Amino acid sequence: MPLRPSTPLTIKLQLTLVFGALVVLAAVVLTWVLGEMLRERVRADAGRVLMLLSGNAAHVLADNLATNADMVDLLARRADVWAAGLDSPEAQRMLELIQATAPRTHLWVGVADADGTVRAATGGLLRGQSVAQRPWFQHGQAGPFVGDVHPAKLLATLLPADRDGEPQRFVDYAAPVVRDGQRVGVLGVHASWDWVGEVVDAVLSTQVGGSGVEIFIFDRDGRVIFAPGGQSQKLAAADVRMPALPGAAPAVATWHDGAEWLTAATRLPASRELGDLGWTIVAREPAATVFGDVRDASRHVLLAGVLAALVGALMVRFAAVRLGADVRRLSKAARDIELGVPGAHLPPAASSAELRSLSEALGRMTTRLMATQDDLERQVRERTAELEAANAELGRQAGTDPLTGLPNRRTFDLQLDHALAAARRSARPVAVLMIDADHFKRINDLHGHPVGDDVLVMLAGVLRARLRESDLLARYGGEEFVALLPDASQADAMAVAQALVAAVAARRHATYGRVTVSIGVAAAPPGEPVAWALMRQADEALYRAKAQGRNRACAHAGEAIEGGAAPPA
Using one digit for the tens of pLDDT, what is the confidence trace for 416-433?
988 888 888 888 889 999
Helix (H) or strand (E) holding 280: strand 280-286
Any idea which of 144-153, 295-304, 547-556 has the lowest mean pLDDT? 295-304
The confidence band for 112, taking pLDDT boundaries of 50, 70 and 90, is very high
Instruction: Give me the pLDDT at residue 566, please.
Output: 36
Instruction: Give me the pLDDT at residue 301, please.
Output: 64
pLDDT digits (tens, 9 = 90+) for 125-177: 889 999 999 988 999 898 899 988 888 776 756 676 666 666 778 888 899 99
Mean pLDDT of 39-55: 81
Instruction: Give burial (CB, 10 Å; 0-12/13-18/19+) of 57.
Output: buried
Answer for the pair 84, 91: CB distance below 8 angstroms, yes or no: yes
Radius of gyration of the chain (CA): 58
pLDDT digits (tens, 9 = 90+) for 480-534: 999 999 999 999 999 999 999 999 999 888 788 889 999 999 998 765 556 788 8
The strand pair at 508-509 and 517-524 is best described as unpaired
> Which range has the top average pLDDT, 20-29, 290-299, 458-467?
458-467
pLDDT digits (tens, 9 = 90+) for 309-326: 677 666 766 666 666 676
Instruction: Give me the pLDDT at residue 457, please.
Output: 92
**Of the options 3.30.70.270, 3.40.50.880, 2.60.220.30, 3.40.50.720, the CATH number for the domain spanning 409-562:** 3.30.70.270
CA 549/CA 170 separation, integer angstroms: 128
Q: Is the pLDDT of residue 560 over 50?
A: no
- Residue 389 or 246, more confident: 246
Instruction: Give me the pLDDT at residue 47, please.
Output: 81
- Residue 182 or 28, more confident: 182
CA 284/CA 494 separation, integer angstroms: 113
CA 188/CA 138 separation, integer angstroms: 11
Answer for the pair 28, 301: CB distance below 8 angstroms, yes or no: no
Answer for the pair 59, 352: CB distance below 8 angstroms, yes or no: no
- For CATH 3.30.450.20, the residue range(s) in the chain are 76-289
> Which range has the top average pLDDT, 110-119, 379-388, 390-399?
110-119
The strand pair at 150-151 and 251-254 is best described as unpaired
Report the topology of domain 76-289. Answer: Beta-Lactamase (3.30.450)
CA distances from 490 to 58, 469, 517, 531 (A): 118, 19, 19, 16
Q: Is the pLDDT of residue 190 over 60?
A: yes
Instruction: Give me the pLDDT at residue 567, please.
Output: 36
- Residue 28 or 115, more confident: 115
Helix (H) or strand (E) holding 470: none
Answer for the pair 261, 279: CB distance below 8 angstroms, yes or no: no
Q: What is the pTM of this model?
A: 0.50
Classify 430 as helix, strand or coil.
strand
C-alpha angle 392-396-398 in degrees, rounded to nearest 5: 115
Instruction: Give burial (CB, 10 Å; 0-12/13-18/19+) of 508.
Output: exposed
Instruction: Give me the pLDDT at residue 569, please.
Output: 30
CA 154/CA 329 separation, integer angstroms: 103
Answer for the pair 277, 148: CB distance below 8 angstroms, yes or no: yes
Instruction: Give me the pLDDT at residue 493, please.
Output: 93
Instruction: Give me the pLDDT at residue 208, please.
Output: 52
The confidence band for 296, taking pLDDT boundaries of 50, 70 and 90, is low
- For CATH 3.30.70.270, the residue range(s) in the chain are 409-562
* pLDDT above 70: percentage of residues in the chain: 73
Q: At what angle do helices 292-339 and 353-398 cross, to 10 degrees?
A: 60
* Angular region, 151: left φ>0, alpha ψ -120 to 50, beta rest: beta
Q: Is the pLDDT of residue 12 over 70?
A: no
Q: What is the mean pLDDT of the chain?
A: 80
Q: At a CB cut-off of 8 Å and minimum separation 6, what does 247 contact?
A: none
CA 490/CA 392 separation, integer angstroms: 36
DSSP alpha helices (H): ranges in 409-568? Answer: 409-426, 440-447, 449-466, 490-506, 531-547
